[in-house]
Structure 1
Amino acid sequence: MTTFQADVEAVCAMARAGSTDSGRTVIGIAGPPASGKSTLAEAVVTALNDAAKGDVPLAALVPMDGYHLDNAILKAKGLFDRKGAPETFDAHGFCAALGRLRDQSHELFFPRFDRGIDMSVAGALSIHPQTPIVVVEGNYLLLESAPWSSLKDLFSATVFVSPAREVLRARLLQRWIDHGHSPEAALQRASGNDLPNAERILDESVAADLILHQSDLD
């Protein structure tokens, strides 16, 4: 079993342990950009559903990225170059929407961020009322400042994915290079926005129930 597979199983076990007949289990997975949190969250939901029986999914995924502010709004506010920072999300809307997860009386819908068109698509994710586990993933789920701090009472358990800073830096640079930027341009983009955001997340997030280092994704 690889380190990544062991991490997936650890989070799955946490989700199963929290699942009861009394209500929905909500697992929060947070971490800096390029930490591997999205890959982990997707793998956890897939593993839970693959092991389940029945027509209703055992688990569903709600990514924070669906609450990116639209590019037109970011440009009007002078925040386009800071896209991905806390102030470039509808934080209050996101936190309010997550509060609905405890309501299992009807199907719930959430937006999904489409990277192909660089914008969020409303109502693109659905959660069946009988789905007992929801995994929420995003950079700022554990920030100690408002409104993010209100989420601590929602989560049944939390996970923080925290690779070493040098690993994050290398991944962020490679991400921009993979998008067609030169190493110099990649460094400028990472240093101007991604790395400051990562530092804030590492320094200003409250302690999670489980910390994973994800130094590799093998």
Structure 2
Amino acid sequence: MDHLCPAGSGPILTFMPFCVGYRSRMSTAATALSRFLTFDRAAWAHLRDSTPLTLSESDVTALRGLNDALSMDEVVQIYLPLSRLLNLYVGASQGLYRTTQTFLGNDGAQVPFIIGLAGSVAVGKSTTARILQALLSRWPNHPSVDLVTTDGFLFPNAVLESRGLMKRKGFPESYDRARLVRFLADVKAGVAEVHAPVYSHQRYDIVPGLVQTVRQPDIVIVEGLNVLQAPPHQRDTDHLFASDFFDFSIYVDADERDIEQWYVARFVRLVETVFQDPDSYFHRYASLDVPQARATAAHIWAEINAPNLRENIQPTRMRAHLILTKDARHVVEQVQLRRV
């Protein structure tokens, strides 16, 4: 995992004290080739400016995911500056939309600003999405913020079983990508009501007949494993992808070895809690002791989650507008922001 320079992107432009990665021997020409500005935690925290803290300790506790190390310090130092940045992006987007509508002679309703959020299983992207939803909804110019997970666009288990894809759940082919693209296209077109399917982690399946209704919010956060996917070859422009509809995108990153440890630790916690419910799809694991649970989780990781991360998820990292990189403590240590 790179800590200072993203792979293949060249050296990082530095404006000390705001950016880390400074190298005195760096040439001006090489610096200009970088795609990202890179910030350490302290430098990024400085960019909060005067953004107020609108979440309490109890709010953060309620939003924190299972086995996630999110603290109030993390919210203040990482997510408040990020909410400020996104607020500026949303404001600029709204202004550009109004300008375009004036040019066209239209007075249509504002269309939602869409944020895509990607990353591995167990890296903490769901917690990141919930925190951003809570913070962004407290800004006065975009109080309505919806969060949609792409789990709802997985094919039902019956379809996956018929196609031999149950062990490929979470891989790109396990999603109804046409339905996801149609959903995003309708959201971006300002359709009054758009419906997304709902997924139950307890049932490990789509809930028949249950939908999440999106009614022209100011912002929609779309969170999922593969949301930043693009055509295999950039010349392929015949098909739309979810990422084509994003105004801003975020990738939550960490070393694969750390993510595996977090996945295993979370699985052990689930065995002790959620899997004890007889209605849980994974109730068959409820009797595992800790060593058995760890071994089972490691096997699932090696067979399913690691290949999906390497083949499909991690390759989309460099397509994000912003990368949050976590250290072994599950704490964001570095932020990379793509140049405009």
Q: Scaled by the length of structure 1, what TM-score is found?
A: 0.86
Q: Does 1:31 align with 2:119?
A: yes
Aligned to 1:159: 250
Would you say 1:196 and 2:307 are equivalent positions? yes
The separation in 2 between residues aligned to 1:132 and 1:114, in whole angstroms, is 26
Percent identity, aligned pairs only, is 23
Q: Which of 264, 289, 295 is the aligned partner of 1:184?
A: 295
| Alignment correspondent of 1:91 | 177
Contact 1:33 1:194 in 2 (8 A): yes
Bigger radius of gyration: 2
Equivalent positions of 1:77-88 (< 5 A) are: 77-88=163-174
Cα 1:120/1:141, change in 2 over 3 Å:
same
In structure 2, runs of 5+ residues without a counterpart are: 1-71, 98-110, 233-237, 272-287, 333-340
Structure-2 change in CA distance of 1:111 and 1:57 (3 Å):
farther
Any unmatched runs of 5+ in structure 1? none
Whether the aligned pair in 2 keeps the contact of 1:18 and 1:25 (CA below 8 Å) is no
C-alpha displacement at 1:37, in angstroms?
Answer: 0.9
1:28-67 superposed matches below 5 A: 28-49=116-137, 51-52=138-139, 57-67=143-153
The Cα offsets for residues 133-182 of structure 1, whole Å up to 9 and x where unpaired, read as 11111111112336997333311111111111121111122233233352
Map 1:135-154; keep pairs closer than 5 Å.
135-145=221-231, 150-154=241-245
Offset at 1:66?
A: 0.5
What's the C-alpha RMSD, in Å, of the aligned pairs? 2.5
> Counterpart amino acid of 2:299?
Q
Gap change, CA 1:126 and 1:53, over 3 Å in 2: farther
In the alignment, is the contact (CA less than 8 A) between 1:111 and 1:124 conserved in 2? yes
Q: What are the Cα deviations for residues 42-79 of structure 1, in whole angstroms up to 9, with x where unaligned?
A: 11112222x2569x952111111101111111111111
2:181/2:240 contact within 8 Å kept:
no
Q: Which has the higher contact order (CA 8 A, sep 6+)?
A: 1
**For each residue in 1:98-146, what CA deviation from the matched residue of structure 2 results, as whole angstroms up to 9, or x when unmatched?**
11111324122212211122222355322222x2111111111112336
Q: Across the two proteins, how many residue pairs are aligned to each other?
A: 215
Give the Cα separation in 1 of the matches to 2:83 and 2:198. 23
Moved over 4 A (4+): 146-149
* Distance change >3 Å, CA 202–CA 196, structure 1 → 2: same
TM-score scaled by structure 2?
A: 0.57
SS at match of 2:220: strand
Name 1:172's counterpart in structure 2.
263
Q: Which amino acid aligns with 2:214?
A: I
